[in-house]
């Protein structure tokens, strides 16, 4: 369970699982996690809106993508890749929902957009 999910879960009483949702659907636990963001204070939402996947996990996922493309992955590597993709998607969903809520509450989130674009440009 990611730090974001643990923090949201602690504040809301929701403890999401890492079960994989069906293609194109969110797991009920992840839906509850996202919905729980509604009850958070703005300061907490800012923290979630600025959260990113750890640099180590990001590098590992990138390396696995390249290896998959170039030579293929074993079962354990594929399982790790899938787990990291879910972590990335979960992080981005929570981040996007936190930013949306902040915008709806009247906050200027343009700084979040600029920092996201900068991060994308810096990532090889």
Q: What is the pLDDT of residues 16-27, one digit of tens each?
A: 333 444 456 778
Residue 23 DSSP SS3 = coil
pLDDT at 117 over 80: no
Nearest to 45 by CA among 95, 91, 83, 113: 95
Q: Which of 8-17, 50-59, 113-122 has the highest mean pLDDT?
A: 50-59
Report if pTM > 0.75.
no
Task: Give the number of other Cβ atoms within 10 Å of residue 4's Cβ.
Answer: 21
Q: Give the start-to-end residue ranges of the domains of the chain.
A: 3-122
50-63 pLDDT tens trace: 999 999 999 999 99
Residue 112: what pLDDT?
86
Cα 29 to Cα 115: distance, rounded to the nearest angstrom: 29
């Amino acid at each position: 369970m990611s730090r974001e999910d643990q923090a949201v879960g602690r504040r809301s009483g929701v403890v999401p699982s890492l079960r994989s949702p069906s293609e194109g659907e969110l797991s009920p636990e992840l839906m509850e996690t996202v919905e729980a963001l509604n009850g958070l204070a703005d300061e907490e939402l800012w923290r979630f809106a600025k959260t990113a996947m750890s640099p180590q996990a990001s590098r590992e996922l990138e390396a696995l993508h390249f290896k998959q493309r170039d030579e293929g992955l074993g079962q354990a590597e594929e399982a790790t890749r899938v787990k990291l993709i879910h972590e990335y998607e979960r992080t981005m969903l929570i981040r996007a929902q936190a930013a949306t809520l902040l915008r709806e509450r009247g906050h200027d989130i343009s700084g979040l957009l600029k920092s996201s674009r900068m991060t994308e440009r810096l990532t090889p």
